[in-house]
Structure 1
Amino acid sequence: MLAAIRNFAKSWPARILLIILAISFVGWGANQSGLAVMSGDHIIKAGSRTVGTLAFRREYDTYKKRMEEQAGQPITQELAEQNRLDTVVLNGLATREAFAEMLSKVGIRPSDKLILDQIQKIPAFFDPITGRFDKKTFQQRLGENGLTPKAFDAVLRDEMATQHWAVAVQNGLAVPRTYGGLAAVFALESRDLSYFALTPQSVPQPAAPTDAQLTAFINENKAQLTRPEMRVLTIVPFTPQTAAAAASGPIDPAELEKRYNFRKDTLSQPETRTLVQIPVKDQAAAQQAVARLQKGEAPAAVAKSLGVDPVTYEDKPQSAIADRKAGQAAFKLQAGQVGAVQGDLGLSVVKIVSVVPGREVTLEQARPMLEAELRKDMVAEKVYAQTQAFDDAHQGGASFAEAAQKAGVSTQTIGPISAQGVDDQGRQLQGLPPKILETAFALPAGGDSEITELGDGAYFAVRVEKIVPASVPPLAEIRPMLTQAWMRREIVRALEAKATALTARVQKGESLEAVAASAGAAVVRVPGLTRRTAQSQQQQLGGEVLGRTFASKPGEAWFARLPNAIAVGQISNVRVEAGPAAAQIAEANRGELTQAVFREMGEAAQAYARTKLKVKVDAEKARAAVGFAPLAEAKSEKAAPEKAK
């Protein structure tokens, strides 16, 4: 339905905002060209913006990780190169940078205050104790994700600018009612379908194929028949589960006491207070404010009369008070007391609204948790000791199996298995972490990996025992399966040839009934099909027949695939029912159509920005950044097997 109104979306109502947007570009030299040759570390250049190797690699890794999470399996370097993931990321990032540059040029730039306020609202940057934004936590979280504060600031600015542009464009945008009317026509249009089916029994069964025919069939379908490269692997796992038994001894009381004393402050509940702090200029103003608060005047009113804003802390510990020295003084006052305090940031008056006493956790209360922590540490130490023992033995000349035995762990041999975790019987191997496969498929035959972290306290080492190259299985091995596939293809070809001839007869004027009778079939009639009711016919008719039903003209003959046959059909009695239902659908679909127009406007604006800015990209540098071979070398490697044929 949306595809059919695309031409309407290109009319003047949908273009008017893009025209306004385009006019705004005239003043800032959108026709200036980019660099003729990319220089330095630049992979992308869009106006004043550049993207270097490290930034591109970070974008690529993020995109690849997201694709792996969606697929539920690792994407090998070879598979990524075959599917040109570098090009996908390169084009997407170039378009994004061009659009961000365009927004900046036309003056859509978030203020520094807006950016700071936004950053300070992100829960990931809050101190877990104070519940407030913490600069160290902020820097730590960014470092964990390979970002600097400057880079994060730039990303956030671009996102907010895009959001503001989108809100401005979308606010009040609504497609004309004509669009909704067209949607109603599509939804309520009714057609009568008549067809007859040609089944596999409608054509002679083909003779069994010869070896020559099957060999040709293999060559035609080599890509689908080729088995991927597989490997036989020996894995040495170092996991907390296997080390738990070795670390199941009693907990040392001295270690428990030591852990309790170290954690006592964080385990205990600190005293919290609700208080109001009013900054004052001098002692006279402080005494006046204290007197007014003691008489019961509202802190907000007192602060307003002094020309300042009160600072309120709701059930916060002393560490949450911004002015450390003022906080120390405030926590010496009693509930309901008012006092003037001199802090590091100046003089202020504090009123204590309420006090919630702190609670100290005893050793006995904390024992279960602390013992669990200590046992977890013991397991981690045991896992580490096993990895060290294995590494020392292997480095000293012991084989993989011997080193594992000396470390007290067992080996596991699996395979043949593909990089996607599928065995030679086509079964998906469950429970094998993708990182092990990714590591194994980066090694040569006979290669051993380093001890690699797996996450959650686990590690592994893997050895490639054998590589089974990608290959097409021999004819003798797949003859039964191949014969069935060849027979099915020949039957389909015969059915399509017969359907073509019968369709031509209907097109020349013979009735559908007469042509069906000559083929030994009966006409099936499905009256009153609409796009809304077609879903109920999906299983019986299939998408291809339904597609032809709503795409063909009345009286036009056609054939299309049924789930297990081929249908030769016609449609007739095309009609549209007007009335309240049409009006309701027309109005209900305006929102969806408005969103479709908005998306197309956004795509058009992005394409405009990239074209006008003459964005430069360096595909070779992008490939090098993610470890792919140069384009010329990759093409020559691909051409070599073809030439050998």
Structure 2
Amino acid sequence: MLSGIRTFSQSIFAKILFGIIAISFVIWGLNASILNLGNSREVAEVGSQSITPVELDRAFKRNIDKMRRVFGPSFDQQQAIQMGLLNNTVQGLVSQKLLEENAQDIGIGISDDKVRSSIFNNKNFQSQTTGQFDRKQFEQILYQNGYSEAEFIEGMRSDLMSQQVVTSLEAASTPPAPMVKAIAAYRNEDRSGRFVTLDNDDIDPIEAPSDDVLKKYYDDHGNQFTAPETRNATLALLTVDGIAKNMTVTDQEVLDAYNQRIAEFQTPEKRAVEQILFAPNEKESATEAYKALQGGEDFMKVATEQAGMKESVVKLGEFTKENMLPALRDTVFSLPEGGYSKPVETALGWHILRVTSITPAHEQSLDEVREQVENGVKRQKAEDQIFDIAAQLDDELGAGTSLKDAAEKVHAQLYNLTDIKKGQDLGHGIPDSQEINAKIYELNEGDESFLEETQNGDRYVVSVTKVTPSAVKPFKDVRDDVVAAWKVEEKQRRLSDKADALAARINDGSAKLDTIAAELDNSIDETGETTRDGRGLSADASPAIAGALFDLEKGKAKSVSGANGVAVVVLDNIKAANTDLGKDDPIVTELQDSLKQDIVSQYLDYLRDNISVSVNNSVINGLYAQNAAN
């Protein structure tokens, strides 16, 4: 999860509003500098600035949306609060305000030109075609991330101010050489060894135990045999495709749409082309080849023998007039089928061209594409009307109409969903299923959501009609599962016990790995030279073997349980690490980043002592009371 957060944090939006949360994780807590704000309805006051409930709520919702891109649509507000994302959002905003306040105090200002330049130079807002700032793309990205233009510009200005402060602090972040060497020596040391993996043939067959043993296992491992919480819900869904099915269109609307889209239904003429190509200085050779063709020689024979070309290179494929090289276009499209040209000069050399086949241009009639055009018109009308229909559904529910009746009045798709598990697809081909599932699990039994909009623009209202709590299944219903689980655990125990005994024989000198492998009739595998984190470990070795190698003395053995089974591993060689690292080595840059964070953290501590900070927990709790209580 943390790696996902780190990946996400590289985006421009994360840097602006989620920017220095990583710092605030370390040095800021809601219990610090909390004062009584009296009747204030602000979330926090930092010096002369404040954080409003609206500002917090927008930032929190944006952060949840961004986390969903990392963890999936089932990541909901309750999970966000439980994992501390609400607190961290507050902390990030407070830290940002501290740096902004400090920047203002020491006279740092960011001009409009600087903000404009930063936005215009950001590749996210530049057209891939022209490389220039694209306003439509800029507005679209802001809309997708929940920003108004003014809000984004001020966020960018604040971020640039804060970054000037932070950048000046990071200058003194060179890690000490002894620290670098010590960490390199530890992290980059290589070790290698050999191992034998035990399998089912190395232990006695496992028989099912008595019911007394199984019932004890069942009681001790109840979580393995627990049915998850399920929910029943009623869903009223408005999708463009669903609305389009009920749309009526006129013949004139279909004709107008066909005329507007006529280019889609026109297939231009195509010609299959072959060429004989000579170098720019081989005009005479091209002329001789042309004479040979006039004398009846085969085109491919001339190309291969006189021009030295391969057949696959001679055959260029099919071209329309638009995608043919301009210098050859007129020549190719003036030839008859089977005809060849005189030598034509381009910057590439001398070309003799032959048209082997012609596919005539074709325009599909309205009758041929009527269904496609008609569906397109219906969909366009549905896209235009979905907002109004959704508003009508909302009005019906607001007037006290039941969800079922309201859905029928506006022709919404109505689903009665049963036994829904958290994170599970809802079935029925419901789009944005995971997102709706997450909303279902935000509600309590009897609750009905507001009119919601999915990321793809669908609208829905969902009502939770029943919640069935998770419960342990009766023993008689899961006896076979209990037997299977007990056997897996018993097999692991027996294999581990035997591996421990074999490792002990190696360690007391009574046996060697080769001897044990021969006794088991098993092969010996090499670990490869590996570091502590498993880099260099052979593909056949479990990652746990890397850890075992660094727990052993040379020549000693240990049993290891991992994804690939139970093994006995022996350490054979130790290779000391190179501790002379360059400035771009990952260890150096990692330490430098850590020191930068420590320096900024200490500076924020200093600012907190000198700039008044007041956080109003009652306002925060009031905003998210329902989820905070769960």
The answer, yes or no, to whether TM exceeds 0.5 is yes
- Is 1:624–2:621 an aligned residue pair? yes
- Is 1:592–2:593 an aligned residue pair? no
Matches within 5 A, 1:198-237: 198-204=198-204, 208-211=208-211, 213-218=213-218, 220-222=220-222, 226-237=226-237
Task: Name 1:153's counterpart in structure 2.
Answer: 154
- Distance of aligned partners of 1:549 and 1:42 in 2 relative to their CA distance in 1, 3 Å threshold: farther
Distance apart, 1:420 and its partner CA? 1.7
- Is 1:414–2:454 an aligned residue pair? no
Give the RMSD, CA atoms, in angstroms: 5.3
Q: Secondary structure, in 3 states, of the residue corresponding to 1:63? A: helix
Output one character per residue of 1:276-321: Cα deviation in whole Å (capped at 9) or x when no partner: xxxxxxxxxxxxxxxxxxxxxxxxxxxxxxxxxxxxxxxxxxxxxx
Task: Answer whether contact 2:35 2:616 (CA < 8 A) is retained.
Answer: no
Task: Name 2:352's counterpart in structure 1.
Answer: none
Q: Could you tell me which amino acid in structure 1 is paired with residue 588 of structure 2? A: T
- Distance of aligned partners of 1:527 and 1:624 in 2 relative to their CA distance in 1, 3 Å threshold: closer
Distance apart, 1:231 and its partner CA? 1.9
- Distance of aligned partners of 1:618 and 1:164 in 2 relative to their CA distance in 1, 3 Å threshold: closer
In structure 1, C-alpha distance between the alignment counterparts of 2:608 and 2:91, rounded to whole Å: 13
Task: Name 2:35's counterpart in structure 1.
Answer: 37
Distance apart, 1:230 and its partner CA? 2.0
Output one character per residue of 1:545-599: Cα deviation in whole Å (capped at 9) or x when no partner: 023224543234322224343222221233469xxxx7xx966783433321221
Q: Could you tell me which amino acid in structure 1 is paired with residue 489 of structure 2? A: R
Task: Name 1:197's counterpart in structure 2.
Answer: 197
In structure 1, C-alpha distance between the alignment counterparts of 2:35 and 2:75, rounded to whole Å: 33
Which one is further off, 412-421 or 378-387? Answer: 378-387
Task: Answer whether contact 1:195 1:569 (CA < 8 A) is retained.
Answer: yes
Q: Could you tell me which amino acid in structure 1 is paired with residue 486 of structure 2? A: W
In structure 2, C-alpha distance between the alignment counterparts of 1:498 and 1:434, rounded to whole Å: 46
Q: Could you tell me which amino acid in structure 1 is paired with residue 460 of structure 2? A: F
- Distance of aligned partners of 1:232 and 1:170 in 2 relative to their CA distance in 1, 3 Å threshold: same
Output one character per residue of 1:597-618: Cα deviation in whole Å (capped at 9) or x when no partner: 2211122123323443457675
Task: Name 1:67's counterpart in structure 2.
Answer: 67
Distance apart, 1:544 and its partner CA? 0.6
Task: Answer whether contact 1:421 1:428 (CA < 8 A) is retained.
Answer: no
- Distance of aligned partners of 1:55 and 1:86 in 2 relative to their CA distance in 1, 3 Å threshold: same
Distance apart, 1:241 and its partner CA? 1.8
Task: Name 1:558's counterpart in structure 2.
Answer: 558
In structure 1, C-alpha distance between the alignment counterparts of 2:140 and 2:196, rounded to whole Å: 69
Matches within 5 A, 1:266-415: 378-380=381-383, 383=386, 400-401=403-404, 403-415=406-418
Task: Name 2:601's counterpart in structure 1.
Answer: 607
- Distance of aligned partners of 1:564 and 1:481 in 2 relative to their CA distance in 1, 3 Å threshold: farther
Q: Could you tell me which amino acid in structure 2 is paired with residue 607 of structure 1? A: S
Matches within 5 A, 1:249-260: 249-250=249-250
Distance apart, 1:151 and its partner CA? 7.7
In structure 2, C-alpha distance between the alignment counterparts of 1:192 and 1:120, rounded to whole Å: 53
Distance apart, 1:508 and its partner CA? 3.9
Q: Could you tell me which amino acid in structure 2 is paired with residue 593 of structure 1? A: I
Q: TM-score, normalised by structure 2?
A: 0.59
Task: Answer whether contact 2:181 2:580 (CA < 8 A) is retained.
Answer: yes
- Distance of aligned partners of 1:157 and 1:428 in 2 relative to their CA distance in 1, 3 Å threshold: farther
Q: Secondary structure, in 3 states, of the residue corresponding to 2:195? A: strand
Task: Answer whether contact 2:234 2:415 (CA < 8 A) is retained.
Answer: yes
Distance apart, 1:418 and its partner CA? 2.5
Percent of counterpart pairs with the same letter? 18
Task: Answer whether contact 1:231 1:415 (CA < 8 A) is retained.
Answer: yes
In structure 1, C-alpha distance between the alignment counterparts of 2:375 and 2:430, rounded to whole Å: 30
Task: Answer whether contact 1:186 1:531 (CA < 8 A) is retained.
Answer: yes
Task: Answer whether contact 1:233 1:463 (CA < 8 A) is retained.
Answer: yes
Q: Secondary structure, in 3 states, of the residue corresponding to 1:545? A: helix
In structure 1, C-alpha distance between the alignment counterparts of 2:160 and 2:64, rounded to whole Å: 21
- Is 1:503–2:503 an aligned residue pair? yes
In structure 1, C-alpha distance between the alignment counterparts of 2:111 and 2:428, rounded to whole Å: 52
Q: Secondary structure, in 3 states, of the residue corresponding to 1:37? A: coil
In structure 2, C-alpha distance between the alignment counterparts of 1:572 and 1:473, rounded to whole Å: 50
Distance apart, 1:404 and its partner CA? 4.2
Q: Could you tell me which amino acid in structure 2 is paired with residue 229 of structure 1? A: E
Task: Name 1:461's counterpart in structure 2.
Answer: 461
Output one character per residue of 1:390-446: Cα deviation in whole Å (capped at 9) or x when no partner: 6787788876555544544543333321342357xxx99873444433443444545
Output one character per residue of 1:327-382: Cα deviation in whole Å (capped at 9) or x when no partner: xxxxxxxxxxxxxxxxxxxxxxxxxxxxxxxxxxxxxxxxx9x9999866633465
Matches within 5 A, 1:418-437: 418-422=421-425, 431-437=431-437
- Distance of aligned partners of 1:200 and 1:55 in 2 relative to their CA distance in 1, 3 Å threshold: farther
Task: Name 1:349's counterpart in structure 2.
Answer: none
In structure 1, C-alpha distance between the alignment counterparts of 2:211 and 2:429, rounded to whole Å: 34
Distance apart, 1:162 and its partner CA? 2.2
Task: Answer whether contact 2:534 2:543 (CA < 8 A) is retained.
Answer: no
Task: Answer whether contact 2:232 2:416 (CA < 8 A) is retained.
Answer: yes
Task: Answer whether contact 1:443 1:449 (CA < 8 A) is retained.
Answer: yes
Task: Name 2:540's counterpart in structure 1.
Answer: 540
Gaps of 5+ in 2: 1-30, 127-131, 261-369
Q: Secondary structure, in 3 states, of the residue corresponding to 1:529? A: coil
Distance apart, 1:455 and its partner CA? 6.2
- Distance of aligned partners of 1:409 and 1:483 in 2 relative to their CA distance in 1, 3 Å threshold: same
Output one character per residue of 1:161-201: Cα deviation in whole Å (capped at 9) or x when no partner: 426744884799698699589859976x6644133333344
Q: Could you tell me which amino acid in structure 2 is paired with residue 37 of structure 1? A: L
Q: Secondary structure, in 3 states, of the residue corresponding to 1:416? A: strand
In structure 1, C-alpha distance between the alignment counterparts of 2:533 and 2:626, rounded to whole Å: 52
Task: Answer whether contact 1:540 1:563 (CA < 8 A) is retained.
Answer: no
In structure 1, C-alpha distance between the alignment counterparts of 2:429 and 2:489, rounded to whole Å: 32
- Distance of aligned partners of 1:210 and 1:429 in 2 relative to their CA distance in 1, 3 Å threshold: farther
Task: Name 1:276's counterpart in structure 2.
Answer: none
Distance apart, 1:63 and its partner CA? 1.5
Q: Secondary structure, in 3 states, of the residue corresponding to 1:555? A: coil
In structure 2, C-alpha distance between the alignment counterparts of 1:394 and 1:489, rounded to whole Å: 54
Distance apart, 1:540 and its partner CA? 0.9
Task: Name 2:359's counterpart in structure 1.
Answer: none
Which one is further off, 373-382 or 170-179? Answer: 170-179
In structure 2, C-alpha distance between the alignment counterparts of 1:501 and 1:173, rounded to whole Å: 50
In structure 2, C-alpha distance between the alignment counterparts of 1:185 and 1:399, rounded to whole Å: 67
Output one character per residue of 1:483-523: Cα deviation in whole Å (capped at 9) or x when no partner: 22222223323333444444344444444348837974667
In structure 2, C-alpha distance between the alignment counterparts of 1:122 and 1:564, rounded to whole Å: 47
In structure 1, C-alpha distance between the alignment counterparts of 2:522 and 2:375, rounded to whole Å: 75
Distance apart, 1:221 and its partner CA? 4.4
- Distance of aligned partners of 1:205 and 1:162 in 2 relative to their CA distance in 1, 3 Å threshold: farther
Output one character per residue of 1:102-145: Cα deviation in whole Å (capped at 9) or x when no partner: 6667776545653354356679999xxxx9999xx989968983
Task: Name 1:5's counterpart in structure 2.
Answer: none
Distance apart, 1:466 and its partner CA? 3.1
Gaps of 5+ in 1: 1-32, 261-367, 635-645
- Distance of aligned partners of 1:238 and 1:194 in 2 relative to their CA distance in 1, 3 Å threshold: closer
Task: Name 1:325's counterpart in structure 2.
Answer: none
Q: TM-score, normalised by structure 1?
A: 0.58
Output one character per residue of 1:189-241: Cα deviation in whole Å (capped at 9) or x when no partner: 66441333333444445553555555554554455654443222333332222
- Is 1:529–2:526 an aligned residue pair? no
- Distance of aligned partners of 1:152 and 1:35 in 2 relative to their CA distance in 1, 3 Å threshold: farther
In structure 2, C-alpha distance between the alignment counterparts of 1:392 and 1:41, rounded to whole Å: 31
Distance apart, 1:458 and its partner CA? 3.7
Task: Answer whether contact 2:46 2:94 (CA < 8 A) is retained.
Answer: yes
Task: Answer whether contact 2:527 2:537 (CA < 8 A) is retained.
Answer: no
Distance apart, 1:65 and its partner CA? 1.0
